[in-house]
Amino acid sequence: MKASNEAVIAALRQLVAYTQLEDGQSQSFRTRAYDKAIDALLSVNGDIADMSLAELKAIDGVGDSTARKIVEFTSNGSIGKVDRLKERFPPGMLELMKIPGLGPKTVLALQDHLDVVDIAGLKAALEEEKLRNLPGLGKKSEEKIAEAIELLGIHSDERRTPIYDAMSIANRIVRDLAQLDSVETIEYAGSLRRLSETIGDIDILATSEDAASVIEAFVGLPGVTATLGKGTTKASVVVDDSMQVDLRVVDVSEFGAALLYFTGSKSHNIELRQRAMDRGWTLNEYALTEVESEKVVAASTESDIYAALELPWIPPEMREGTGEVTAAAEGRLPDPMAVEDIRGDLHFHTDWSGDGRSTMDEMLQAALDRGLEYVAITDHAEDLAMNGLSRERVMEEQAAIEVARERFPDLTILHGAELNIGPEGSVDYDDEFLKVFDFTVASIHSHFDLPQDQQTARLIAAMDNPAVNVIGHPSGRRIGMRPGARFDVAAVGHHAAETGTALEINCHLQRLDLSAAALRELVTIDGVLFAISTDAHHTSELENLRWGVAQARKGWVESSRVVNSLPIGEFMAWKARKRTD
Ligand code: DGT
Ligand code: CA
Ligand code: CA
Ligand code: ZN
């Protein structure tokens, strides 16, 4: 099967990682060349697999050697150099490189001196305090690495992948298989569909009248590096040496039962099965069936099955066995939010701040195309060393926004900023200058490991600032990479309600911040309001809104709690209550 653009890019990312090991450093002229090519390929519109060597080389940013490797991958399904390096460096070493504090040099030293090539080996070596004697390491770095493993909950017996990485693999495989004529319906299930923060394996379900051909295509997909098992209707493979993917092909008449079963969670399924048993039925991955007559009660759609069990359809994100079945039975389930409920985006960047990759016009046009009615442009503020705007630039941006308002009369454009919350809770600029902005988001971008009570006081001080409308990605976590600030969720919630400050639900899959657990706690506090924001740095990231909305469902947040689902008049009134323009 033809390699998708995502598969090509994933192969190049793998090439970067192996090259880092080969070079013993995170950056070299070769990795920089590959990284540059990846950046360039991300904005290619057509199919990379259809491009000739000459066409590839003609892309600005793609050099001769990289172009050759791309052609190797699109014609053979793998890159010779990567295949050779895999012999030297087992895939576990790539996992090790993802741990904060472990660069290529250290990972190579682990292999050379201790024969450690995976997380299980690393854990054992840490327990025996063997790392401190490695060249370039010491007791301190050993402790730091142990702490990172602990904080990130990395377990050797069960390798879990951050949802951001798993989602990109799942989307790629679903899209590839959906192209087959024999595939009718295809959807991912499991923890991914429930929007879990980390994913053990990806579960995909398809319907087809020719299961065998779908299975054959699946095990032969570009990026599949091993086949773990293969039958006539199901198979398990490893993709990119890192992620297990299970595919099951079922009959269309049983799709709903299968989707329900394989979405889980296990405890949600158990509660549903209990309700079925109470009615003299059984529920399994094939159908909801009457025990005595063996007659099928419902099977083809999830809603049919829920309805037969006298329940509304429960969104997958809520299926965690944490009271949702009882709440649904009693009519207390929150109204699930939909992307259409969102009327504005209150946190995104343009190329005015150093890390934005789209222009202001492009971002505004994209927002309008998505049907948004209002936006806040929130470029970084001056305290952020690399990307922040000086006061002079802020005033220039304000003038640019004035001009943009005339070009986009159907969009209400707020001149905002993303402020940086200092360790004591202060923010950028000064009280007088902050009045320049129509709206601000204040976020933690540093000092993530202060003690909990200090973080709580820090956030509370930031919310006391009348210029601060929203606390952006409140913990600052990066799933699988950085645990973020720990704070007293209830105390922050109460203060947010008292000061009229909204708490952000950041839509990026690496963040999903606030967490679902924090949201569940916050919705029990009267008056806490949220802002579901993309924090987009490129027009393509505006579509992340769907993940923030899914995160809201997972946290049982209803649209009445979300300030950017308010009609513009009510939104402006809410905003005006905290700051006087
Ligand atoms: P993961 O892969 O660890 O991130 O989590 P899940 O939830 O995707 O778990 P997985 O892949 O083992 O199984 C997918 C779904 O299939 C799971 O959420 C519920 C269902 N399932 C699997 N095994 C069982 C079982 O033994 N009993 C029940 N009731 N359901 C199961
Ligand atoms: Ca799974
Ligand atoms: Ca599975
Ligand atoms: Zn931001």
Is the per-residue pLDDT at 147 higher than 90? no
User: Which ligand is closest in space to the CA of residue 197?
Assistant: 1
ω into 514 cis (within 30 of 0): yes
Rounded Cα distance, 108 and 245, in Å = 29
- Residue 433 alpha carbon to ligand 3 centre in Å: 54
pLDDT at position 153: 67
Rg (CA), the chain: 25
- Residue 331 alpha carbon to ligand 4 centre in Å: 37
- Residue 203 alpha carbon to ligand 3 centre in Å: 5
Q: Hey, which of 266, 277, 283, 302 would you mutate to test ligand 1's pocket, going by the most ligand atoms within 8 Å of its Cβ?
A: 266
Which residue, by CA, sits nearest to atom 9 of ligand 1?
190
Phi, psi of 314 (to 5 degrees): -100, 125
Q: How far is CA 30 from CA 23, 52, 64, 396, in A?
A: 9, 22, 12, 39
- Residue 257 alpha carbon to ligand 2 centre in Å: 17
Rounded Cα distance, 433 and 429, in Å = 6
Cβ proximity of 244 and 272 under 8 Å = no
Average predicted confidence (pLDDT) for the chain:
94
Residues 162-180: tens digit of each pLDDT: 999 999 999 999 999 999 9
Percentage of the chain lying above the pLDDT 70 cut: 98
Residues 437-460: tens digit of each pLDDT: 999 999 999 999 999 999 999 999
Atom of ligand 1 nearest to the CA of 199: 4
User: Which ligand is closest in space to the CA of residue 320?
Assistant: 1
Residues 543-577: tens digit of each pLDDT: 999 999 999 999 999 999 999 999 999 999 999 99
Atom of ligand 1 nearest to the CA of 160: 4
Amino acid identity at 317 = E
Is the per-residue pLDDT at 132 higher than 50? yes
Query: In which band, very low, low, confident or very high, does the pLDDT at 384 lie, cut at 50, 70 and 90?
Result: confident
Q: Hey, which of 269, 288, 317, 479 would you mutate to test ligand 1's pocket, going by the most ligand atoms within 8 Å of its Cβ?
A: 269
Phi, psi of 345 (to 5 degrees): -120, 125
- Residue 44 alpha carbon to ligand 2 centre in Å: 32
Question: In the sheet that 288-290 helps form, which strands lie side by side, from edge to edge?
Answer: 281-283, 288-290, 296-298
- The stretch 216-244 carries a mean pLDDT of 93
pLDDT at position 546: 98
534-573 as b/e: b if 16+ CB within 10 A? bbbbbbebbebbebbbbbbbbbbbbbebbbbbbeeeebbe
Rounded Cα distance, 343 and 564, in Å = 6
Is the per-residue pLDDT at 204 higher than 70? yes
- Residue 485 alpha carbon to ligand 1 centre in Å: 31
Coil, strand, or helix at residue 440?
strand
Coil, strand, or helix at residue 454?
helix
Coil, strand, or helix at residue 60?
coil
- Lookup: tokens for 179: 């192209």
Which residue, by CA, sits nearest to atom 31 of ligand 1?
266
Q: Which residues touch 448 (CB under 8 Å, ≥6 apart)? A: 476, 482, 483, 484, 485
pLDDT at position 56: 95
Say whether pTM exceeds 0.85. Answer: yes
Rounded Cα distance, 6 and 41, in Å = 10
pLDDT at position 150: 80
- Residue 358 alpha carbon to ligand 4 centre in Å: 14
Greater confidence (137 vs 409) lies with: 409
Atom of ligand 1 nearest to the CA of 270: 29
- The stretch 227-241 carries a mean pLDDT of 93
Ligand 1 lining (C-beta closer than 6 Å): 190-191, 196, 199-201, 203, 261-262, 264-266, 269-270
Coil, strand, or helix at residue 503?
strand
- The stretch 83-91 carries a mean pLDDT of 92
Residues whose CB is under 5 A from ligand 2 (ion)?
190-191, 201, 203
Amino acid identity at 361 = D
- Residue 259 alpha carbon to ligand 3 centre in Å: 12
Rounded Cα distance, 414 and 421, in Å = 21
Closest CA to 193 of 205, 184, 185, 182: 205
**Burial of 473 (C-beta count, 10 Å sphere; 0-12/13-18/19+):** buried
Alpha helices in 360-488 (DSSP H): 360-369, 391-407, 431-434, 452-464
pLDDT at position 481: 85
Which residue, by CA, sits nearest to atom 23 of ligand 1?
266
Which residue, by CA, sits nearest to atom 19 of ligand 1?
264
Rounded Cα distance, 222 and 243, in Å = 14
User: Which ligand is closest in space to the CA of residue 247?
Assistant: 3
Which residue, by CA, sits nearest to atom 1 of ligand 1?
200
Alpha helices in 99-162 (DSSP H): 104-114, 119-127, 139-152
- The stretch 282-308 carries a mean pLDDT of 97
- The stretch 378-407 carries a mean pLDDT of 94
Is the per-residue pLDDT at 196 higher than 60? yes
Which residue, by CA, sits nearest to atom 3 of ligand 1?
200
Rounded Cα distance, 428 and 383, in Å = 6
Domains and CATH numbers, the chain: 5-152 (1.10.150.110), 161-250 (3.30.460.10), 255-329 (3.30.210.10), 339-580 (3.20.20.140)
Is the per-residue pLDDT at 156 higher than 60? no
Q: Left (φ > 0), alpha (ψ -120 to 50) or beta: where does 158 sit?
A: beta
DSSP letter string over 154-201? Answer: --SSS--EEHHHHHHHHHHHHHHHHTSTTEEEEEE-HHHHTT-SEES-
Which residue, by CA, sits nearest to atom 17 of ligand 1?
264
pLDDT at position 579: 64
Percentage of the chain lying above the pLDDT 90 cut: 86
Residues 332-360: tens digit of each pLDDT: 999 999 999 999 999 999 999 878 999 99
Greater confidence (18 vs 2) lies with: 18
pLDDT at position 148: 82
Which residue, by CA, sits nearest to atom 16 of ligand 1?
262
Is the per-residue pLDDT at 141 higher than 80? yes
Residues 506-537: tens digit of each pLDDT: 999 999 999 999 999 999 999 999 999 999 99
Which residue, by CA, sits nearest to atom 8 of ligand 1?
190
- Residue 21 alpha carbon to ligand 3 centre in Å: 31
pLDDT at position 581: 42
Rounded Cα distance, 416 and 250, in Å = 50
- Residue 349 alpha carbon to ligand 4 centre in Å: 6
Query: In which band, very low, low, confident or very high, does the pLDDT at 155 lie, cut at 50, 70 and 90?
Result: low
pLDDT at position 6: 87
